[in-house]
Chain A
Amino acid sequence: MKTTTISIRHGAMLAILASALAASSSHASDDKALQQAAEKEGQLVVYTANQLESEQDLVAQFNKEYPNIKVEIVRAPGGRLATRIETEVAAGKLGADVIDMSDRGLVEGFKQVFADYSPPNADKYPDSLKDIPNVWPKTVWGFVIAYNAASGVEPPTSWADLTKQKYHGKVATVVANSGGSTWTRALFERKVVSDDYWEKLAANKPVLYPSGAPAASGIVRGEALVGGVQSNSVIPMVREGAPIKVVYPKEGIPVTASVAGIVKDSKHPNAARLFMNWALSEKGQSAWVKNGGGFSVMEGAPLPEGSDASTRIWIPDSKEYTTLRNDWLAQWNKIFGVH
């Protein structure tokens, strides 16, 4: 197992760096040196838009391998995190070593804070997500459909099913402008599922929720019986025995790929690098998919429990994501009668 990991890393290094040939012979010892330097620093601070407990689980897996590095987490949703980062950067008081944002559009405003960084296995990550330099899809999560299994409701198999008469008044829907990932979901619904999906869903009188958490708990409580919810909150709930089940709808899963990088003036640059290398490695990505309820866009990464090769991940076009946002959200609000 160990040798395979190392050989994958070799390949990656070769592909990325011109100096890889010279470096590769001493690669294993480089890893050792990085670990030692990181352990000397002893800690790092991560600013993340991932769910808190989900990130804590990931850190716990990291600490199994590197118990001497304490990872402190500041967690906030994307918009709030961006405001905080921009203000701290302007005042020269950025407190983060690693930043893990959810919303690509928001990172544009402060992409200069990231240090030059690519993980050893950089070539395993899709080129479409390399439009912003130095940041990587550390944590990817998406909207799946959950249904209340205890209620005996017939499980849907697709997003289109949610517009059927039999689910009238029983669909949980998070308002589209709750955040970046709900916008991704709405964009997916209209671009991939069908042009008039919003109108059809609105006509089915869904129960609206202000954010993902009450929607998931609404389905658990049976207030709504089916609906799209975030995988990283709902899959861990299923594992703990919630009376719900997850469906990977056949049209695909609209995902939000996080935008994570190391901060330029980081006080713990080696610890930050070690954490990022690990999180983006096969081990880190498997831990994230298994424990965090997420997906991975890394080549050869495992799929979450219950999904199979036919499960498709949908990543929005970053241009459309930004340019359509305000207009389409206003239309969404109108169609669903939010105000």
Chain B
Amino acid sequence: MYNHSTRLSAYRVTWTLLLLAILGFLIIYPIFMLGVGAVSTGGPTASEGQISFNAFLQVVHDPNVLRVTWNTLVVCAGGTIIAVIVGLFFSWVTARTNTPFAKIIEAVSIMPLLIPPLVAGVAWSILGSPQTGLLNVLLAGIGLDVKVNFYTPTGIIIIFGIYYAPYVYMFTASAMKNMDPSLEEAAAISGVSTFKTIFQITLPLILPAIIAGSMLSFVVMLGIYGIPATLGTPERYTVLTTYIYELLSSAPADYNRAAATSLILILVTALAVIAQQQVLKGKSFVTVAGKAFKPRRIDLGGWRYVTFIVAVIYLFIAVVLPMGALLIGSLRKFLYLPNAAAVFDMSAYSLGHFQRLFSNSLTTLSLVNTLKIGVTTAIAGGVLSFVLAYTIYRTRLPFRRLIDIISTLPIAIPGLVIGVAYIWAWISLPGGIYGSIWILSLAFVARFIPDTVKSLSTSLLQVHSELEEASLICGRGRLYTIKKIILPLIAPGLISSMSLLFILAIRELGSSLFLYSSKSLPMSVLLVNLYEGGDFGVTAAFSVVQTAILVIVVLFTTWLGRTMSIAK
């Protein structure tokens, strides 16, 4: 007995140390370099840098920072509320009701996620610009004297909400799918109404998924640049990311103040994670236990057409409108649309931008690179995140709370800032990694640990430990138990996490900006280079191509996840 426990604890300590070492390399070391950058003049690699805390003092004393932080919290909180309402509605509709075409709604509802934030911002500025927005042109065209204006804080909130609803959806949908319906059935038998059941049984059961999803989308919104830059700048509404971007545009780039300002974001994130841990502490959210069950779909009767229509309206706003704007932008020679008739002038449409896009040799190069990077990131990141999530949520190992906090930190750092942290930290890696596509995969695995660990957590938290214990008691080892019990149970969650990782890797811009070389150029960097060159048609065409690739991947993984789901 004595021997057994020392062996176990040696194994436990080694395991914990190994994980901490990996996280140290992927997360702590780059953040540390950022910290060094914040207090040294000229960046951490400068030979004659000096240590100075002036940047911190400047940030703390700057009244603008306070106002900008307030702006940031307002749009992110507002966006999160919308994202939670929309995301929950969709996961419930698709997983638990008999709304028609649920599978199609399911596949389409995560589409906003496939558009990079900058492209989404551009698409919505085309649609919602107060004077010449496509929506306003069309509204005027049908004789309505209504104007929409997305160049406002409300506009940013709505786009944030639409855009990050899929995050909440992805988290809560797997929780709803894997939920043992016996409690709901009990409520139904006792004569409790459908709506009361939703609010008193279903929602509380998937609370951890709701909290994880809303916390994650809130924190991700903190770090988004593209949407507030395109929609906020015309009306001079500054948030932390656009403020940081400005600091980086000064010459030389003010990494000191940018890094110091980013620490505000890191702090808010750490607080959010701790709050989440406190809320969930001591509560059980097990819904998948040893008993067999079959998820129950609620018969909504006539209401199912109402939910269907609501879903269609949402999808129209979130998917059809921005994709339509991009398509029009990619097919029209130029986007000057003085009136509604101009939109339907077919002579202005052609495939010219697509031809131009594919005549550029860099396009194919970046496509191939990005697919390679996406696949390696999804596999390596999926495995690592599973290991982390399992350790955090399924074991009693020491420091697992710390691992949880560390593995959430990267999300709070805006892409523009973390990119420079990665090059500072990893440029000296041996074996020609710097300059190859591998360093990009490494950066994406590190950057998206939070997203994948959190999205796996919802699946893991639901599986009752009695299933594992039964296997362990029967003398099976832990690895065997994981392979035979846990993995099959959470396979849909794992697949959807890996596809999320693939999507994020293909979209990711910030961490690529400093790490790519002429040979490892990814799509996102080429896209932003075309965009910065002012060529909107080619940029739109490239966005359409990128989105099409992601749609194919999502359809494939949705199908894969469904065939692997234990519910079948």
1/0 per residue, CB under 8 A from A, across B433-466: the answer is 0110000000000000000000000000000000
Contact between chains at B252 and A148 (CB < 8 Å): no
Residues of chain A with a CB closer than 8 A to B238's CB: 338-339
1/0 per residue, CB under 8 A from B, across A63-104: the answer is 000000000111111111011101110110101000000010
Contact between chains at A220 and B334 (CB < 8 Å): yes
Give Cα A338–Cα B47 distance, bound, in whole angstroms.
Answer: 35
Residues of chain B with a CB closer than 8 A to A208's CB: 233-234, 236
Of B67, B249, B250, B420, most A-chain CB atoms within 10 Å: B249
Contact between chains at A72 and B518 (CB < 8 Å): yes
Contact between chains at B122 and A214 (CB < 8 Å): yes
Contact between chains at B243 and A339 (CB < 8 Å): yes
Give Cα A177–Cα B534 distance, bound, in whole angstroms.
Answer: 18
Pick from A77, A221, A337: contact of B132, CB under 8 Å:
A221
Closest residue of chain B to A56 (Cβ to Cβ) is B360
Known: A51-B533, A93-B434. A82 touches B253 (CB 8 A): yes
Contact between chains at A177 and B233 (CB < 8 Å): no
Contact between chains at A83 and B129 (CB < 8 Å): no
Known: A80-B513, A87-B45, A93-B435. A53 touches B243 (CB 8 A): no
Contact between chains at A90 and B250 (CB < 8 Å): no
Pick from A52, A90, A175, A241: contact of B233, CB under 8 Å:
A175
Pick from A151, A177, A216, A217: contact of B246, CB under 8 Å:
A177
Give Cα A217–Cα B513 distance, bound, in whole angstroms.
Answer: 23
Pick from A109, A177, A241: contact of B334, CB under 8 Å:
A241
Contact between chains at B420 and A223 (CB < 8 Å): no
Residues of chain A with a CB closer than 8 A to B333's CB: 240-241
Report B299 CB to chain A, min CB distance, Å.
49
Report B432 CB to chain A, min CB distance, Å.
10
Pick from B126, B428, B529, B532: contact of A91, CB under 8 Å:
B428
Report B393 CB to chain A, min CB distance, Å.
38
Contact between chains at B234 and A207 (CB < 8 Å): yes
Contact between chains at A148 and B336 (CB < 8 Å): yes
Contact between chains at B250 and A230 (CB < 8 Å): no
B112 within 8 A of A: no
Residues of chain B with a CB closer than 8 A to A106's CB: 251-252
Residues of chain B with a CB closer than 8 A to A52's CB: 526, 529-530, 532-533
Interface residues of A in 42-63 (CB under 8 A from B): 45, 51-54, 56
Residues of chain B with a CB closer than 8 A to A216's CB: 534
Report A142 CB to chain B, min CB distance, Å.
15
Residues of chain A with a CB closer than 8 A to B45's CB: 86-87, 90-91
Residues of chain A with a CB closer than 8 A to B253's CB: 79-80, 82-83
Residues of chain A with a CB closer than 8 A to B513's CB: 76, 80
Contact between chains at B131 and A177 (CB < 8 Å): no
Give Cα A178–Cα B247 distance, bound, in whole angstroms.
Answer: 10
Pick from A222, A230, A241: contact of B131, CB under 8 Å:
A222
Pick from B245, B248, B423: contact of A87, CB under 8 Å:
B423
Give Cα A183–Cα B46 distance, bound, in whole angstroms.
Answer: 26
1/0 per residue, CB under 8 A from A, across B132-173: the answer is 100000000000000000000000000000000000000000
Known: A76-B513, A86-B43, A216-B534. A221 touches B336 (CB 8 A): yes
Give Cα A295–Cα B262 distance, bound, in whole angstroms.
Answer: 39
B204 within 8 A of A: no
Residues of chain A with a CB closer than 8 A to B390's CB: none
Residues of chain A with a CB closer than 8 A to B26's CB: none
Residues of chain A with a CB closer than 8 A to B29's CB: none
Contact between chains at A86 and B46 (CB < 8 Å): yes
Report A223 CB to chain B, min CB distance, Å.
5
Report A316 CB to chain B, min CB distance, Å.
13
Report A155 CB to chain B, min CB distance, Å.
16
A329 within 8 A of B: yes
Report B511 CB to chain A, min CB distance, Å.
13
Residues of chain B with a CB closer than 8 A to A247's CB: none
Residues of chain B with a CB closer than 8 A to A53's CB: 360, 530, 533, 535, 538
A313 within 8 A of B: no
Residues of chain B with a CB closer than 8 A to A11's CB: none
Contact between chains at A223 and B132 (CB < 8 Å): yes
Pick from B242, B336, B514: contact of A210, CB under 8 Å:
B242
A156 within 8 A of B: no
Contact between chains at A82 and B423 (CB < 8 Å): no
Give Cα A151–Cα B68 distance, bound, in whole angstroms.
Answer: 36
Residues of chain A with a CB closer than 8 A to B434's CB: 91, 93
Contact between chains at A83 and B250 (CB < 8 Å): no
A125 within 8 A of B: no
Residues of chain A with a CB closer than 8 A to B68's CB: 339
B364 within 8 A of A: no
Closest residue of chain A to B125 (Cβ to Cβ) is A214
B405 within 8 A of A: no
Interface residues of B in 412-436 (CB under 8 A from A): 420, 423-424, 427-428, 434-435
Closest residue of chain B to A207 (Cβ to Cβ) is B234
Give Cα A234–Cα B334 distance, bound, in whole angstroms.
Answer: 13
Contact between chains at B533 and A336 (CB < 8 Å): no
Report A48 CB to chain B, min CB distance, Å.
11
Closest residue of chain A to B230 (Cβ to Cβ) is A214
B100 within 8 A of A: no
Residues of chain A with a CB closer than 8 A to B514's CB: 80, 83-84, 87
Contact between chains at B530 and A82 (CB < 8 Å): no
A117 within 8 A of B: no
Pick from A72, A86, A222: contact of B336, CB under 8 Å:
A222
Give Cα A272–Cα B229 distance, bound, in whole angstroms.
Answer: 38
A267 within 8 A of B: no
Residues of chain B with a CB closer than 8 A to A75's CB: 529
Contact between chains at A337 and B338 (CB < 8 Å): no
A24 within 8 A of B: no
Interface residues of A in 159-203 (CB under 8 A from B): 175, 177-180, 183
A17 within 8 A of B: no
Report B237 CB to chain A, min CB distance, Å.
9
Closest residue of chain B to A240 (Cβ to Cβ) is B333
3 A-B pairs with the lowest CB-CB distances in the bound complex, closest first: A233-B534, A72-B518, A90-B45
Which B residues are closer than 8 A to A by beta carbons?
42-43, 45-47, 64, 67-68, 122, 125-126, 129, 131-132, 229-230, 233-234, 236, 238, 242-243, 245-246, 248-253, 255, 333-338, 360, 362, 420, 423-424, 427-428, 434-435, 513-514, 516-519, 521, 526, 529-536, 538
- 24 CB contacts below 8 A, A to B, read A75-B529, A79-B251, A87-B43, A87-B427, A91-B427, A105-B252, A109-B42, A150-B336, A151-B338, A177-B246, A180-B251, A209-B234, A212-B532, A213-B533, A221-B126, A222-B336, A233-B533, A234-B534, A237-B534, A240-B333, A243-B336, A325-B250, A329-B250, A336-B236
A95-B517, A220-B336 are known; give 19 further A-B pairs, CB within 8 A.
A51-B529, A52-B532, A53-B530, A79-B249, A79-B252, A83-B253, A86-B45, A90-B46, A105-B251, A177-B249, A208-B234, A208-B236, A213-B532, A214-B125, A217-B536, A223-B129, A339-B68, A339-B236, A339-B243
